A and B are shown apart, each in its own frame.
Chain A
Amino acid sequence: MRPPPLAVHRLIERLMADPEARAAFRAAPEPLFEEFAIAADLRPLLVEGSRAALDAIGVHPSMQFKFLIATGRSPVKPSSIRYYLDRV
């Protein structure tokens, strides 16, 4: 069994938590790859960022979803929960 890609998961957690990291990743991902010690063979796959690429790395499906959101590829339309909560 292949071990989970913990470094990639931790990178995704950072991207979800930190808007500046998201912007930095989109502009130039290498410094974050270095910080999280992402293996060289995984970096092109993360730059490609497709679900197929993430699958190839073994990224957990929920973390794939987070990565897609963090990199501007959300599978669902953006929306504001305020549309609903303002009418509760």
Chain B
Amino acid sequence: MGRIVGAFATSHVLMSPDGIEAQAERVFAGMKEIGRRLRAARPDVIVLITSDHLNNFKLDLQVPFIVATASMFTPFGDMGVPKTPFRGYREFAEALIEHAAAHGLDLARAEEARPDHGVAIPVAIVNPNGAIPVVPLYINVAMEPVPAPRRVWALGQALRDTVERHRPAAERVVVLATGGLSHWICMARQGDVNEAFDREVLDRLVRGEGDRLAALTAADILDRAGNGGLEILNWIAMAGAVAGARGETIYYEPIPSWLTGMGGVAMDLGGAA
């Protein structure tokens, strides 16, 4: 059986530091720290749970869950991210699709994807030389209905089951969720940050209470964290993959000029390493 040897979550944007230099630097330092810990776990593959920003999967057809199966990805290049190719891991991606189906989760397969900032910024920080293959796992948060939190929790559990029951012995897997925290995109509350809710999310995760987040409804998250905050679903999926694990908040900064709360956590998997 394989093992999940690391689980992390982080916001996935970096914007202008003008006027907020110290905050921006703390966020950047937090992301780099997550990268340091991720690499220290010596993973064979990173399963990166994220959401596309209507750059690959358009409003014409939004699918709840998509696994990108290619062996190589070239970033979309939005937000100025370099289009430096990085490796995928077809065999792992196909195994996840196959075994998630046994959990009642039908994952769509995307042979072609140009990962946007939701993948490419975290990859550029945690996996800067592209040494570790990445399997992007997309959760729809663009078009209603988005998946229920309990369903993305189950997705995380299906991921864990795939790793532990169907992957080769000694395979080391890191789960990295990206996105969030609270932000409203072109909604009345744009520019608000719900720091109280963001901290509740972080606290629940590091106390090993991700299941409490899974008990929320998507409408709860939309109301309290905004349409962009629905990316917290990605974090709940990560928590489902390491259910019961506690963790540590690596960074949190409310940054209204970036229109978002920025946060990151590292889960403590005990003897996983």
Contacts and interface: CB of A to CB of B under 8 A. Distances in A.
Interface residues of B, number: 32
Interface string B182-197: 0001110011000000
Contacts of B143: 60
Interface in A46-88: 51, 54, 60-66, 68, 75-85, 87-88
Interface in B115-164: 121, 124-125, 128, 142-143
B4 to A, nearest CB: 25
Interface in B21-78: 28, 32, 35, 53-54, 58-60
Most buried by A among B60, B82, B186: B186
A4 B59 contact: yes
A76 B16 contact: yes
A36 to B, nearest CB: 15
Interface residue tally on A, bucketed by range: 20 to 34
A78 B35 CA distance: 25
A88 B28 CA distance: 9
Given A62-B185, A64-B186, A76 B125 contact: no
Contacts, number: 72
B111 interface: no
A9 interface: yes
A60 B59 contact: yes
Given A9-B59, A75-B190, A62 B80 contact: no
Contacts of B60: 6
B191 to A, nearest CB: 8
Given A62-B53, A76-B15, A88 B128 contact: yes
Contact of A82 (B59, B80, B187, B227): B80
19 contacts: A4-B59, A61-B186, A61-B187, A62-B53, A62-B142, A62-B227, A63-B54, A65-B185, A75-B186, A75-B190, A76-B257, A76-B258, A79-B17, A80-B80, A81-B80, A81-B81, A82-B80, A88-B124, A88-B128
Interface of B: 14-18, 28, 32, 35, 53-54, 58-60, 79-82, 121, 124-125, 128, 142-143, 185-187, 190-191, 227, 257-259
Interface of A: 4, 6, 9, 13, 51, 54, 60-66, 68, 75-85, 87-88
Given A4-B59, A62-B185, A79-B18, 12 more contacts: A61-B186, A62-B53, A62-B186, A63-B54, A75-B191, A76-B258, A78-B16, A79-B15, A81-B80, A82-B80, A85-B128, A88-B125
- List the 8 closest pairs (A to B, CB-CB), nearest first: A79-B16, A77-B16, A61-B186, A64-B186, A81-B80, A88-B128, A84-B14, A61-B185
